[in-house]
Each structure stands twice: as structure tokens, then as C-alpha cells.
Amino acid sequence: MKVMKTNMEDRSRYRITDSHRNQTFVGELRKDRDTYAWTWKGHIDFTDGHNFEFASQRSFVTAVEAEDYLRRFACARIDNRLSTMQPNRL
């Protein structure tokens, strides 16, 4: 039986791909192997061709907490950008 070893970093990292208001965003969550804290980075691919990259400025205790914050951040950024593009905006 052959056992494949995987790097600790590989087991502590995962990607999410989702969309909000028809705008796709991708995030990568990573767990630091020394501190066990989670951080994230990602990007939004707007349908008009504009791309926006972002990264967490803090760390999180759990992957669930980090992922939730990433999703909320991406959705808020998408909402903000789309609202500024509306022609009847005051």
C-alpha cells in the first residue's frame, strides 16, 4: 500500500467560487501552520471586465468565521460598485 504524504499547508487551504448579483468572486482561505489562524484573499471579476483584488487585514480563529467574513466583504464591495454605476444615482 502506497501512502501519499501531503503538505500541511495544502490541507490547510481551500478555495471558494461564488457569485453575487451576477458578479463572480473567488476566495482562497489559508490556515497558518504556526499560529493556526485563518486569513483570506480573493478577487472579483465584474462582468464589465473590471477586476478587483482584496485580502484580509486580520486573522480569524476558524475557517467558518474567515469564509463568512470573506463572503460578506465581497458582496458589500459588489453592491457598492454596482450602486455607483446606476445612472439615476443622486
Strand, helix or coil for residue 60: strand
What tens digit of pLDDT does each residue of 36-88 get? Answer: 999 999 999 999 999 999 999 999 999 999 999 999 999 999 999 999 877 76
Contacts of 47 (CB under 8 A, 6+ apart): 22, 23
Structurally, the chain folds into a number of domains equal to: 1
18 is a domain residue? yes
34 is a domain residue? yes
Angle at alpha carbon of residue 21, lines to 16 and 25, rounded to 5° = 25
72 is a domain residue? yes
55 is a domain residue? yes
Per-residue DSSP letter, 51: E
What tens digit of pLDDT does each residue of 5-48 get? Answer: 444 445 699 999 999 999 999 999 999 999 999 999 999 999 99
24 is a domain residue? yes
